[in-house]
Structure 1
Amino acid sequence: MSCINSIQFYGRIIMEIQTKLLRVQYLFLNSYLKRYLNNNIADITKIHRDIYTRRYPTKVVKADGSSIDVRYHEPRKIIKLPLDLSLLSEDERRIRLEKRKPKKKVKISDDLEDNFNAKKYLKYLKK
């Protein structure tokens, strides 16, 4: 019985030592990263980020014509928000929907009468 208790006791001591060593390693690595990995490292390599903090000034134009200045993640000048068709009158809605439809192409049919006779010009050829 005393043998099992001593094994458990030593096991606990080993676990405590391991956790303390891990804490010391973490503190050492944390201080190392704070000291050596600062903003000057960007001169040597790229900044390893998934999301960049750069935002571009952009103007958002609402459907009623008013505009708002915002910061957007892509470089764009103007973002135009769509118009809500349910707020329009029936005539305005019909005009807007007709503008969206593709325009019909005008077919131009060329009806050329081919009455060219090459034998007519044989007299101008020199042999």
Structure 2
Amino acid sequence: MSFNIIVRRISSSTAAINKIHRSVYAHTYPTLLVFPDGSTINIRYFEPRSIITLPLDLSKLTEEERKLRLERRKPKSKIVIEEDLNDSFNPNKYIKYVKTSKKK
């Protein structure tokens, strides 16, 4: 009876020569996954992201909810504020409140 035993001799010199023989590296990042209904779970993801939101299926929504969602996607118009430059400020009116120093 013969046993074929493969013995791998590992030393400090082999660590510098060999590479990691993995097709996928095991390092993952903690990530929050948000489902379309709003529920969340914590998962491990291969890229460093904090939150991943799954897309919402518009075909399952009612007509009103679909219109609201599509309205939110449209760009909002900017509000233009016009300033009135009609100043009625008269500085001569306040000269009496300014104290002047007397010279000795």
Give 1:1-127 correspondences, 5 Å limit: 35=11, 36-38=13-15, 41=16, 52-110=25-83, 112=85
Unaligned runs of at least 5 residues, structure 1: 1-30, 42-46, 115-127
- 4+ residue segments displaced more than 3 Å: 49-52, 110-114
Unaligned runs of at least 5 residues, structure 2: 1-7, 88-104
Q: Amino acid of the residue matched to residue 99 of structure 1? A: R
Report the number of matched residues: 78
**TM superposition shift of 1:57:** 1.6
Q: Which TM-score applies when normalising by structure 2?
A: 0.56
Which has the larger Rg? 1
- Separation in structure 1 between the aligned mates of residue 86 and residue 51 of structure 2, nearest angstrom: 54
Higher relative contact order at CA 8 Å, sep ≥6: structure 1 or structure 2? 2
Q: Which TM-score applies when normalising by structure 1?
A: 0.47
Backbone CA RMSD of aligned residues: 3.2
SS at the partner of 1:65?
coil
SS at the partner of 1:57?
strand
**TM superposition shift of 1:58:** 1.3
- Separation in structure 2 between the aligned mates of residue 89 and residue 111 of structure 1, nearest angstrom: 46
Q: Name 1:121's counterpart in structure 2.
A: none
**TM superposition shift of 1:111:** 5.2
Q: Tell me the alpha carbon deviations over residues 94-120 of structure 1, each in whole angstroms, 9 at most, x when there is no partner.
A: 111111111111112345459xxxxxx
